[in-house]
Structures are given as structure tokens and as C-alpha cells.
Chains A and B, each alone.
Chain A
């Protein structure tokens, strides 16, 4: 069965990767999705892009009028009437009029006759049957339903069209008697759903079956953009990454020394530190240097507006404005909660495709959780990093940590495996004076100094001071190699710590929740007395 399975590309961005080439040609794909999941849109995009690529198609709708379909498509910039006029697309309203009387037995043969006739006439290669379960509701007996499905299936099989059949799952956990039939009809079965988490809606897609073919088995987030559906498979992360490139200056000569020449092109550099440690300034110094060399940079800001950011770094002597004006630097500023992670991602990707930058900055990844939780942030960053790594783009991530010594925060939101270099910024207070310290925690594919370096933020850039001897000592040669082995062990220990701390945190949250509800209950019982306790009142409490 695995041999010679021909595929038909959907031309939907990202979907063909998940499907390892596309849908099975000449066979049936069942899309199972609830209201608002976008299954009708996906099916229409399959036909629309197919028609543009020279494969005419037929859309049979049991739920929406053809006029509604045209309008919905027009909102995405798809001109269906033009394709209809050229006989590359045919929309058929298969709905039964509500005032139709029913007397005795009937079948969907009328529809099949139309589909057969029309597909011959226009040389159709694709067909969509949208909301089949609506049509099947007309039939009372399960036996009739079964025979209609067989009728349809037989015709589809001999017609040799590439089919998408969409069905809605039974509402509220009910069991649909058709479900097994649908599943068995499809050589490929895709489930789509829309859910709302933290007031931000996420849509996900999953291939549950694909006869004779491999496929991505994860749940893939997708977004309905202003020109169609867009999905990006996370599982393909790492497959097409460009190797790390040559060293490029950080913009600060002494930091280049610490990093044995600078950051590596196409690598991912993470800047972790508490507020006020100068993460944004450090990034911007690099950006300004890159733009001066004529390299384009996209700066994604979740913390500050363009004006505020430019102003802020200018006070440290880093001028971004000229680079924005010359077109080398583009700022993409928005609040994380303004839209869902998928939309943030597709906006970033659009900007990357338009600008084709050499470098991308995300300031700050710690804000990404506000897109709809940890998972959303993880997905956004993974996909963005993946897109950049595939294009050989250097990525600078800013991560704001809250406490001084929380290692779990430094690695970022589960993306540590994608990070090549970690620059940690801290400060300590001695003798009434604040000392800022910079420390390279890791630098993949490059030797680097393990020492902490003191730095100051002046109004003329960041200045790295001479070697700092407060902790550790100068390491060279074999001693450094030993240190590297130690570092590796330390990294493993940290990973373990991260996991345990996450667990602890969950438990603490739980305990606090319980305490809160307990407190609320006690306050409710006592009423106003809670705040004016007499000595005898507290007796039972302690």
C-alpha cells in the first residue's frame, strides 16, 4: 500500500509539510471540525489554490449559500466569481429548501448527477462536500444513511477526484452514528478545532489517519490570516536549519573578546537578566552595528513602542533612528495580549518575508506568555526560531528574569535547546555600590571566557571593564577544558532543578489557592467581625 501513493498539494502554507506532500490524489480526505474551526475555509482554499494551479474543482455546500461562500472568500482576497466564469470552479448550493415537503423515499442521486455532469464538463480534479452530516439529517433511518454514504462513496471512488469531505463532530459529547462511516471513507482524516484559552482563541489541527503515508503526528496550531489558513509544523523543527555562520561583532569590542570574536551568524543568543541590567541596550548595540554594515534587522518589541525604545537606547548612546529611516531596521511593536500567538507568529513571518533580515530581535520572550499562556509562548517562539534558523537569521532573545538567582527563568520558556549562546546579566551590591556583571553561561560551537565581567552603562554605550576576580579565576588551557566539563554537568543539574522548581511552584499555587478559599470562607462566616476581633474571638483559631 505504501508504494506509489500520489499526492495532491493543498498549496496551503505549512499543511503540505505536515501531510508530507499533500492529500491523497484521487481519494477522499475527511475533515472533522466544529463550528468556527475553519474547516469550510480550508476546504475552499484547497479548491481555490487548486484552481489557480490548473486543477478545476467543485464545491458542494450543505450549510452555507453560494453567496455566503463567495463573500467569505472575498474577505480573504479570493476572487471566486472570476474562477467560476472561467469554469475552473463551480459552487453548488446543495441545501434543501426549508419549505420542501417530504413524502416517501429519496436519495442524493440528484446531487451526484450534477457533480458527475459538471465534473465531466469542466474536467474537475478536486471536489469538496461541505457539511455532509447536514444533508444526511434528512434521512430518518440509519440504514438509509448508510446506503446514501455508500452511494456517495462508490461514486467518489470511480470518479477519481481528490475529495475533501467536511463533517461536524456531534455536539456536546454525543455520539454520531455516522462517525464510523466517515472515518472509514477517508484515506486521510484530519481533525480541526478552535478553543479559547485565557480569552485568546487557538486553533489546532491534527492528522489522525493517513493510509499508506507518513504524516506529522502532533497537534499543529494554525491561524486564519488575511489570505487564508497558515500552519507551521513544529515537528519539522531542526530539519532544515542552516549551520552556524562566522563570528560577527557584538558591537562592543571587549565583549567580542569574551566571546572569542562575537556572536555566530545564524545562531540564537539569549540575554537574561533582571530589569535595568541593560539587556535591550546590549541588543540594540549589536543591531546598530549590524545596520551600519548594511544588514537588515527586524526588532520585535513586546515591551515598548517604537518611540520609547528608540528614546531609551539613545540615552545610552545607541542611535537606532537613522537605521529605521534608511530602511535597515524595522520595528514590529505590539502588546502580547493584542492577539493570539498564531497571529503574532504570522505577522512576524510576514515581516521576515518582506524584509528578509539578517537578524531578528525578540524583546522580550518573557512577555510572550501574555499571548495566552506558557504553551502559546512556547509555540510562538519555537516556530519563530525555526523560521529564522531555516533562513540563516541570527536571533537575539531578551528574557527578563525576576529574581537574581533563578536559573529556571534564564533558559526561557522551554526553548533552551534552541539557544546557542546565553549571556547572563546580573548585578550585586557591595559597599553601597551597584556592580553590573556579565557572564556567558553557554556558547555553542565557540570557545568563550567563563569569567564574570563587570560592565557599566554609560551615555556612550556599554563599557566592559577589566577582568573581574570576585568569583573564580582566570582559566586557560587544560583548566578551561575541565571547567567546560563542569559546565556541562552544571547545565544538566540546572535542567533537573528547573523541573523540580516548576513542580514546587505548581504545589505552592495550589496551597495558596486553598488558603485563599479557606480565608474567604472564614471571612464570610464571621462577617464584619473578621476585622475587629475581640480577644475571646481568636480562641478557636489558634
Chain B
């Protein structure tokens, strides 16, 4: 419960929490490339850079894919803040991506 309190405290203070993201891609195939672009933009614009992205290429590190149970790519695992969530796909549906990150959409009532 403690992290939640901390998180809500952060939210009240207006500073977004730190996001730890792990992105699984498959080489430079189009979906993976697109995801990287979208995610970088979201990070810069919406999370104000408060995120750490670790990119894993499944062709180079299949053991990580096994460990994280990733069978489809691209797959984004939000490791923190909790709860841990998985979003698969190229993130082209940004509303869904934002919802998964716990953020409201652009122009919404986010303070």
C-alpha cells in the first residue's frame, strides 16, 4: 500500500511517477519500428521524460522473452508504477496505450 500512497502524493504534487518500461521488439520489422517511435513520443510529451525504457530484441535475447512470457511482439511491459501491465501491438491506438499507462487522453481533464 505504501507505494500507492507515495504515488498519490506524487500526483497531488503534480509530478508524474517514474515509469519503468520494457519493450520487446523483433529486429527492425515495421511494427517494432513504429512502436519505438510512438513510445518515445509518449515518453517525451506525456511523461515528461520521467521514464526508463529498456528495449529487448527477441531475436537477440529469446531467454528474456521466455522469462517475461512474451509470445507476441511488439509487447510493452509496464513494470512500474504497479500493477504490472502488458500492452501488445504497435501502439497505433494511442488512447488504449495511454489508458494502459494510466494516463487520460490528450485534452482530457488531466491536471
Q: Could you say which of B6-14, B44-52, B92-100 contacts chain A?
A: B92-100
Contact indicator A101/B85 (Cβ below 8 Å) = yes
Contact indicator B92/A103 (Cβ below 8 Å) = yes
Q: Sort chain B's interface into a size bin.
A: 20 to 34
Contact A103:B89 (CB < 8 A) given known A109-B29, A111-B71, A138-B72 = yes
Q: Which residues of A, 85-118, contact B by the 8 Å Cβ criterion? A: 92-97, 99-111, 113-114, 116-118
**Most chain B Cβ neighbours within 10 Å, of A95, A99, A100, A116:** A100
- Say what secondary structure dominates the interface of chain B: mixed
Q: Report the separation of the CA atoms of residues A108 and B89 in the bound assembly, to the nearest whole angstrom.
A: 11
**From residue B13, how far is it (CB to closest CB) to chain A in Å?**
28
Contact indicator B26/A100 (Cβ below 8 Å) = no
CB nearest to A118 among chain B residues:
B62
**Most chain B Cβ neighbours within 10 Å, of A94, A113, A135, A138:** A113
Contact indicator A107/B65 (Cβ below 8 Å) = no
Contact indicator B85/A104 (Cβ below 8 Å) = no
**From residue B18, how far is it (CB to closest CB) to chain A in Å?**
21
Among candidates B58, B66, B73, B86, residue contacting A101 with C-beta atoms closer than 8 Å: B86
Q: Can you report 10 A-B residue pairs in the complex whose CB atoms are below 8 A from each other?
A: A93-B69, A99-B86, A100-B86, A103-B94, A104-B35, A104-B89, A107-B73, A109-B73, A110-B26, A118-B66
Contact indicator A108/B71 (Cβ below 8 Å) = yes
**From residue A59, how far is it (CB to closest CB) to chain B in Å?**
13
Contact indicator A105/B87 (Cβ below 8 Å) = no
Q: Which residues of B, 69-111, contact A by the 8 Å Cβ criterion? A: 69-75, 85-94, 96-97, 99-100
Q: Report the separation of the CA atoms of residues A403 and B29 in the bound assembly, to the nearest whole angstrom.
A: 78
Contact indicator B69/A106 (Cβ below 8 Å) = no
Among candidates A92, A106, A117, A118, residue contacting B72 with C-beta atoms closer than 8 Å: A106
Q: Which 8 A-B pairs have the closest CB atoms?
A: A117-B62, A104-B92, A104-B90, A104-B89, A113-B58, A109-B26, A103-B96, A103-B93
Among candidates A92, A99, A106, residue contacting B74 with C-beta atoms closer than 8 Å: A106
Contact A106:B73 (CB < 8 A) given known A100-B86, A100-B87, A101-B87 = yes
**From residue B23, how far is it (CB to closest CB) to chain A in Å?**
12
Residues of A within 8 A of B34 (CB): 104
CB nearest to A90 among chain B residues:
B66
**From residue A84, how far is it (CB to closest CB) to chain B in Å?**
13
Known: A92-B66, A93-B69. 7 other contacts (CB 8 A): A97-B69, A99-B85, A101-B85, A103-B91, A104-B90, A106-B75, A108-B72
Residues of B within 8 A of A135 (CB): 71
Residues of A within 8 A of B (CB): 92-97, 99-111, 113-114, 116-118, 135, 138
**From residue B79, how far is it (CB to closest CB) to chain A in Å?**
14
Among candidates A94, A97, A100, A106, residue contacting B90 with C-beta atoms closer than 8 Å: A106
Q: Report the separation of the CA atoms of residues A175 and B70 in the bound assembly, to the nearest whole angstrom.
A: 30
Contact indicator B58/A110 (Cβ below 8 Å) = yes
Contact indicator A113/B62 (Cβ below 8 Å) = yes
Among candidates B35, B71, B74, B100, residue contacting A96 with C-beta atoms closer than 8 Å: B71
Residues of B within 8 A of A101 (CB): 85-88, 96, 99-100
Q: Report the separation of the CA atoms of residues A104 and B96 in the bound assembly, to the nearest whole angstrom.
A: 9
Contact indicator A100/B88 (Cβ below 8 Å) = yes
**From residue A106, how far is it (CB to closest CB) to chain B in Å?**
5
Q: Report the separation of the CA atoms of residues A106 and B94 in the bound assembly, to the nearest whole angstrom.
A: 15
Residues of B within 8 A of A99 (CB): 85-86
Q: Report the separation of the CA atoms of residues A242 and B89 in the bound assembly, to the nearest whole angstrom.
A: 64
Contact indicator A110/B70 (Cβ below 8 Å) = yes
Residues of A within 8 A of B100 (CB): 101, 103
Residues of A within 8 A of B29 (CB): 107, 109
**From residue B30, how far is it (CB to closest CB) to chain A in Å?**
8
Residues of B within 8 A of A116 (CB): 59, 62
Residues of B within 8 A of A138 (CB): 72
Contact indicator A102/B69 (Cβ below 8 Å) = no
Residues of B within 8 A of A106 (CB): 31, 72-75, 88-90
**From residue A493, how far is it (CB to closest CB) to chain B in Å?**
67
Q: Report the separation of the CA atoms of residues A235 and B92 in the bound assembly, to the nearest whole angstrom.
A: 57
Among candidates B31, B91, B97, residue contacting A107 with C-beta atoms closer than 8 Å: B31
Question: Please, what's the 1-or-0 string for B52-70, where 1 marks a CB less than 8 Å from any CB in chain A?
Answer: 0000001100110110011
**From residue B36, how far is it (CB to closest CB) to chain A in Å?**
13
**From residue B80, how far is it (CB to closest CB) to chain A in Å?**
17
Q: Report the separation of the CA atoms of residues A11 and B90 in the bound assembly, to the nearest whole angstrom.
A: 44
CB nearest to B62 among chain A residues:
A117
Contact A104:B93 (CB < 8 A) given known A109-B29, A110-B58, A114-B65 = yes
